[in-house]
Structure 1
Amino acid sequence: MKKILLFGAGKSATVLIRYLLDQAAQENWQLTVAEANPELAKSKLNGHPRGTAVALMADDVLLRKTLITESDIVISMLPPALHILVARDCLELKRDLLTASYIDEELLLLKDAIEANDLLFLCETGLDPGIDHMSAMQLFDRIRSAGGTISGFKSHCGGLIAPESDNNPWHYKISWNPRNIALAGYAGAVYKTDGQLKEVPYQEVFENCPVIEVPGSGKWACYPNRNSLTYIPVYQLDSATTVVRSTLRHPDFCTAWNYIVKAGLSTLTDAELINSYRDKSIADWFTACLNFYTRAETFADFLNRYVPAAEQELVDHLFRYLGLMSDGPLPRHTTVSADILQYLLETRLTLSPGDRDMIIMIHEVEYQMQGVHQKTISSLIVKGEDAVHTAMAKTVGLPLGIATKLILTGHIRAKGLCIPTGKEIYDPLLRELEQNGIRFYEKEELL
C-alpha cells in the first residue's frame, strides 16, 4: 500500500482530497491529511475508510518528520512561506514532494541536493502556476516542431465569479487566498511589448487596464502580473517581442481597485497609523488613510480631486459596498491597513453556499510559420459546483492529484527540482485534466 501525506486542507485542497480518495481503492492508497484544524480535515475526508486526519501545527518538527517518514510521497498545500519546512524534511528523509506554489529562493538553494538524492520536487503544479505552464508549453512545442518561431505571448488568467452568481457591484467573490487579493499588484509589474520593456509601479498597475472579450463570458480587464520576463528562459521565448502575463478582473473591479491603491488602503507599512486608530471605527481609519496618503480631507474631497467625473459614481458605490464608511470597530488582530482591507473583502465578497466561481485562462500566441504571421488563441473556462467544490479548488487540486498518481505508478520518472514544462509531465497531465472537464479550445487567426 502506498501512503500519501497531504499538508493542509484549506479551500484549494477540497477537490485534491476528493480525487485522491476516489482513486485510493483502485490504486491501493492511504491518505493522511495533516491540518492545524483537524475538524476541517475530517470534514473534507467525510469518513472515507482510506483517509485519516491528523492535527498538526506546521512548526511541530517531531510530528512533521514522523508523518513524512511514514509516507511514500508528500503534497504541501500549506501557505507558501511554510513549504520550505516540509521541503527540508523531505530532502532529509528522502521523499518526493509536490506543491502548487512558485519555486522561491529558499527552495532553489536545495536544488543540487535534491538532484544528488535522486528526488523529485515538482512545484508550480496547480492552476497559475501549473496549468498555465503545461498548456503554454504544449502550444510552443507543437508550433516549434512544425517549424514555427514564437514572436509574441500574452497569457491571462482569472479566478472569477460565474455570471449566474454575480450579484454584487464588484463582480467578484473570494474563492482562494484573500491575502493575495488584498495585495493584488503590490509588487508592480515588468513585461515586454513590441520589443519595449515596460516597468509599472504599484500605484499604476490598475490604471487604464486593457479589456478583452471572452466569447460567452463577457468583457474582462487585464492587469499585468509581477515580472513576466522571468518566463522568457522558462518558455524559451528569446525570439518574442511581446511577453506579458496578466490577471483578469471585471472592468469595474479594476477601476475601483485603482483608487483602493491610491488611497493607501492596502499598505503593509503603516502599523503606527493603525495603532493610533485602534479604538476608532473603520470609517475613521478610511478617512485617516485619505488624509495621510492623498491629503484629501473627506471621501467626497478624494472623489472630486482624484477620480474623473465619469468614474465617481462607480467608485463611490463600490467603496460604500465594501464597508469603508462603516461605523463598526476596526477588526481585532489587524496591524496594518492591508489587514483591514482583507477583513472587508472576506466579509463583503464571500461566496454563498450555492455560488459558482469561474476560472478563465487565455493564451495568445503569435508566431511565424513559413513566412506567414499567425496567431493561436487558446482558452479555458471552468465553473465550480458550489462554494466548497470550486473551480479554483478543481484547477489547483486536480493537477497535483493526477501528478501524484503518475509518479506513484511510474509514468513520471523525472527527478530534481522541476516545474511541469516537460512533455513527459504535461502530456499525461493535460490528457487526464481534459477527461475531468479542464479543456482548452483553440482558434487560429492569420495576421
Structure 2
Amino acid sequence: MKQILLFGAGKSATSLIRYLIDVSAGRDWQLVVAESNLALAESKIAGSPHARAVCLDVTRTEAVDTLVAAADIVISLLPPALHYTVAVSCLKNDKHLLTASYLDDAIKALEPEIKARGLLFLCEMGLDPGIDHMSALQLIRQIEARGGAIRSFHSHTGGLVAPESDDNPWRYKISWNPRNVVLAGAAGARYRDNGNIVSKAYPDLFEQPGEVILPGVGILAWYPNRDSLSYIPLYGLEATQTFIRTTLRYPAFCRGWAPIVRAGLTDSQTTLDTTGLTFDQWSASLQPFVNASNRAQLEYLGCFDQEPVPPAAHTSADILQHLLETRLVMQPADKDMIVMIHEIGFIRDGRSHTAKSTLVVKGEDHLHTAMARTVGLPLGIAATLVLEGRIGLRGLHIPILPAIYDPVMQQLEQQGIRFEHTEN
C-alpha cells in the first residue's frame, strides 16, 4: 500500500486533502496529514478510513524523519521557510518531494544530491507559481508551433472575492495565508517593458497599477510580481520586448494598500513595544497618506480604532495581520474567486496577433475555496502521476516541461479547471 505524506493542513490544504482521499480510496493508498494543530487536521480528513492525522512539531527532526521514512511521496504545504527541513529529511530517506512554493536558494543548493539520489523534487506546483507556468507554456508552445514569434507576454493572477460576496470597501477577503498577504510585494519587482528593464521598489508597486478588463467582473488592477526576468529564459522568450508576471486585485485594494506600505505598517522585522499601544497610535505614520479616496477603507480595517493592539503582537506586520484576519474574514457562505489571464502578442505571417487565455474559478464556501482548489489540485495530481509512474522525471524541477504540464493540465481540465482561449 502506497502512502502519501502531507505536511500542513491550513487554508490551502482543504481541496488537496479531499482529492488525495478520493484518489487513495480508489487505489488502496493511505494519506497521512501531519499538522501541529491535530484538531484542524482531523477536521480536514473528516473520519476517512483512507487517511489519518498526526500531530507534529516540524522542528523535531526525528519525528519528521520517522514520518518521511514511511512515505512513498511527500508534499509540503508548510510555510516556505520550513520546506528545507522536510527536503533534508526526504534526501536522507530517498523520498520524492512536492511543494507549491517558489524555488529558493536553499533548495537549489540541494540539486546535486537530489540528482545523485535519483529523486524528484518538484517546486512551484500550485496556482501562482504553478498553473500559471503550465498554462502559459502550453499556450506559448502552441503559438510557436503555428509559426508565431512572440513579442509580448503578460500573465496576471489574483485571488479575489467573488462578486456575490463582495461587500466591503476593500473588495477583498482573506482566502489564503494572511501573513503572505501582509508581506506580498516586499521584495519589489523586476520585469521587461518595451525592451527596457524596469525595477520597482516595494512602496511603488501599488501606486498607479495597470488595468485589465474581465467581462462580467469589470476592471481589475495589476501590479508586477517579484522577479519576472528570471523566468524569461525558462520560458524560452529571450526575444520578447515585454515580459511581465503580475498579481491581480480590484483597484480599491491597491488604493488602500499603497498608503499602508508607504507608512511602513507591513514591517515584519522591527520589534515593537506594544504595551498600552492602541491601533490609532500604531497607525500614526499613516496620517500623511490618508485622503478622501482611502479613508473609508482604512477606517473599516480598524487602523484608527482606540482599542489596544493584540498583546501577542511583536511587530507592525503582526498587528496588520490581526486586522486583516478580523476585518476581512470570509463568512461561512462567502465565495472567493481565482482569475488568471495570459495575454500574448505575436507576429505570424507578417501580421500582429494577440492570444488571450482566461481562467475563472469560484469557491464553494469559506473552507472549500477556489484558492485551495487551484493551489492543491496541481500538487495532488502531480503526486498521483509520480506514484503511478506517469511522470518519470528526476532531479530538481519547476513545472515548465511538457512531461509535467501536459498530463497535469489534462487532469486539471477533468477537475473543471479550464481556460477560455481567444485569438485575433
Could you state the TM-score of these two structures normalised by the residue count of structure 1? 0.93
Tell me what 1:285 maps to. Answer: 282
Q: Deviations over 1:254-311 (max 9, x none)?
A: 111111112221123432xx21x42121111112x34xxxxxxxx3xx2xxx56xxxx
Tell me what 1:73 maps to. Answer: 73
Tell me what 1:169 maps to. Answer: 169
Q: 1:325 aligns with which of 295, 304, 307?
A: 304
Give the SS at the match of 2:294: helix
Give the SS at the match of 2:292: helix
Tell me what 2:385 maps to. Answer: 406
Greater Rg, structure 1 or structure 2? Answer: 1
Deviation at 1:399, TM superposition (A): 0.5
Alpha-carbon separation, structure 2, partners of 1:233 and 1:29: 39
Deviation at 1:105, TM superposition (A): 0.3
Deviation at 1:146, TM superposition (A): 2.1
Q: 1:63 to 1:325 in 2, by over 3 A?
A: same
Match of 2:250, as an amino acid? H
Q: Deviations over 1:133-166 (max 9, x none)?
A: 1001101111222222211110100000000001
Tell me what 1:295 maps to. Answer: none
Q: Deviations over 1:188-219 (max 9, x none)?
A: 11111110111111121111112111011211
Tell me what 2:52 maps to. Answer: 52
Give the SS at the match of 2:216: coil
Give the SS at the match of 2:5: strand
Map of 1:241-320 to 2, 5 A cutoff? 241-271=241-271, 274-275=272-273, 277-287=274-284, 289-290=285-286, 299=287, 302=288, 306=289, 312-320=291-299
Deviation at 1:330, TM superposition (A): 1.3
Deviation at 1:332, TM superposition (A): 2.1
Deviation at 1:228, TM superposition (A): 0.8
Q: 1:366 aligns with which of 319, 327, 345?
A: 345
2:11 is equivalent to residue 42 of structure 1: no
Match of 2:138, as an amino acid? Q
Alpha-carbon separation, structure 2, partners of 1:68 and 1:226: 32
Alpha-carbon separation, structure 2, partners of 1:87 and 1:103: 12
Q: Deviations over 1:298-347 (max 9, x none)?
A: x3xx2xxx56xxxx323110010000111111112222211111111111
2:89 is equivalent to residue 107 of structure 1: no
Tell me what 1:133 maps to. Answer: 133
Q: 1:431 aligns with which of 395, 410, 413?
A: 410
Match of 1:411, as an amino acid? R
Alpha-carbon separation, structure 2, partners of 1:147 and 1:213: 28
Deviation at 1:80, TM superposition (A): 0.6
Tell me what 1:23 maps to. Answer: 23
Give the SS at the match of 2:207: coil
Match of 2:282, as an amino acid? W
Structure 2: segments with no counterpart, 5+ residues: none
Give the SS at the match of 2:185: coil
Alpha-carbon separation, structure 2, partners of 1:414 and 1:145: 24
Give the SS at the match of 1:22: helix
Structure 1: segments with no counterpart, 5+ residues: 291-298
Q: Deviations over 1:219-268 (max 9, x none)?
A: 10111111110111110110100011111111111111111112221123
Match of 2:49, as an amino acid? P
Q: 1:388 aligns with which of 361, 367, 374?
A: 367
Tell me what 1:156 maps to. Answer: 156
Give the SS at the match of 1:139: helix
Alpha-carbon separation, structure 2, partners of 1:355 and 1:91: 41
Give the SS at the match of 1:185: coil
Q: 1:339 aligns with which of 300, 303, 318?
A: 318
2:396 is equivalent to residue 417 of structure 1: yes
Alpha-carbon separation, structure 2, partners of 1:65 and 1:263: 44
Alpha-carbon separation, structure 1, partners of 2:317 and 2:101: 22
Q: Name the count of aligned residue pairs.
A: 424
Deviation at 1:432, TM superposition (A): 1.2
Could you state the TM-score of these two structures normalised by the residue count of structure 2? 0.98
Alpha-carbon separation, structure 2, partners of 1:178 and 1:350: 10
Alpha-carbon separation, structure 2, partners of 1:96 and 1:131: 20
Provide the aligned C-alpha RMSD in A.
1.1
Alpha-carbon separation, structure 2, partners of 1:439 and 1:269: 40
Tell me what 2:220 maps to. Answer: 220
Q: Deviations over 1:48-82 (max 9, x none)?
A: 00111111011111111111111111111111100
Alpha-carbon separation, structure 1, partners of 2:193 and 2:151: 11
2:124 is equivalent to residue 124 of structure 1: yes
